[in-house]
Structures are given as C-alpha cells and as structure tokens.
Amino acid sequence: MHDATLAPVICLDGPSGAGKGTVGRMLAQRLGWHFLDSGALYRLVAVAGGKRRLDLDRPDALAGLAHGLDCAFGWDARGRERILLDGRDVTAEVRAETTGAAASRVARHPEVRAALLARQRAERRFPGLVADGRDMGTVVFPDAPLKIFLTASADERARRRHKQLMEHGISASIPDLIQEIEARDRQDRERAVSPLVADADALTVDSTGQAPSELCAFIVELAGRRGLF
C-alpha cells in the first residue's frame, strides 16, 4: 500500500520518443499533479556547458553548472512551452536534436547526475508528481508506488520526434532520426551509472500504435486502483 505521508509519484521511464513527455504531461494535467521533465535538466546542462564552451566529456565543471543551474519552466500566451536559462529563453536550443545527443553525453557523468538529484526529488510535492526520465524508478524515486516503463518501435519513435521537431519549427529527416535515436538509446543503455533499464517493479507498456489519451486513461486507472488519488 502507498505511504500516504509521502506525495505519490508515478514514474514514466523509457527511451527517447516513447511518448513519455506527451503522456506524462497529459497525466499530470488530468490528475492535477506536478510534472518533472528530468530530460530537460540534462539538456539544460548541455546547453549551459555549450555556452561556456566546456568539454562535455569532463565532469567537474559540468557538475558545478548542474548544481547551480538557474532555470525556469513555463508557457507563453499561446500555450507553448518556454524554458529559461539565466533568465533567457532557450526553448529552441533545449529541444534541438543535437542537444538531445549532448544531454546524453553529459548524463553519463555520475557527478552531473548526483548534482541534479536533490533538484529532482524536491519536485515530489502534494497532491502528486508525474516524473518523466530514464532513472526515475530505479534511482530518483525508488519507492514510487507506480512505475511505468514506456517503449515503442524505433520507427514510431522517429516519426513522433519528427512531428515534435516540426512543431518547434526544426526540420529533420526520418532516417537520420532513426539513426540518432538508436545511437542515443545505445549510449543511455550502456552507460555505467543509472543506465536506461526497466526497474524490477516497473510495468512495461508498449506505446506503438496507441494514442496518448488511451495510455493516459490506462495509467489513471492503474493509479486509482493503487489508491494514489
């Protein structure tokens, strides 16, 4: 049974493009819960490191940056996501495909991961949190009462990523995206610390061919059955 003195967390882990962001945001909205986009934090460290011309393979300065990251998340008047770094709008840079690959590189360093841990855990607030990432269930919220590991075929993930990038006004080719997605998966799965892996108590859900609203309804039902709201 879920410990009612702690805010409930639903972990949504899985490879990039599996639909975690879309489903997670929908779920958070539906439940009126907070939402943690942990990938955006790694992306912001990569962007901040790039601006300071830091070597993304050297952890010390990156960990310092991660620790002091001055960022904010919100929406503009048209309901589009806006991400600020040191008070400046960096949304397009954060969402760029090249930043995804750079984030995967900075995310290999245990020092960077440790520096972001407290910030992520601080998002666990009532009435609850939907946490999107790679290690939400294994490392950040190991006691979470509901853990979902969302997967989808590489083709489908590339198509979804393409649509998202187009919405941000960024062009890309699907075959290139498939290659990038597979390379990033490999790097995320094979890293020594907090690799992308389903936690032992996670439920693996294949989102191929499923609408986000269906997945969201399915997870809401599971959460309800576990007494999370």
Binding footprint of ligand DC on the chain (CB under 6 A): 16, 38-39, 42-43, 100, 103-104, 107, 133-135, 184, 188
Distance CA 216, CA 200 (A): 22
Residue of minimal Cβ distance to ligand DC: 39
Tell me how far apart the terminal alpha carbons of the chain are, to the nearest angstrom: 12
Smallest separation (angstroms) from ligand DC to the CB of 46: 8
- The helix-helix angle for 154-167 and 174-190 (nearest 10°) equals 110
Smallest separation (angstroms) from ligand DC to the CB of 16: 4
Smallest separation (angstroms) from ligand DC to the CB of 207: 14
**Residue tagged 């990251």 (tokens):** 69
Q: Are strands 71-75 and 81-85 parallel, antiparallel or unpaired?
A: antiparallel
Residue with smaller CB distance to ligand DC, 190 or 224: 190
Positive or negative, the CA dihedral 81, 87, 89, 91 is negative
Smallest separation (angstroms) from ligand DC to the CB of 213: 21
**Residue tagged 């245990």 (tokens):** 110
Residue with smaller CB distance to ligand DC, 150 or 216: 150
Residue with smaller CB distance to ligand DC, 140 or 223: 140
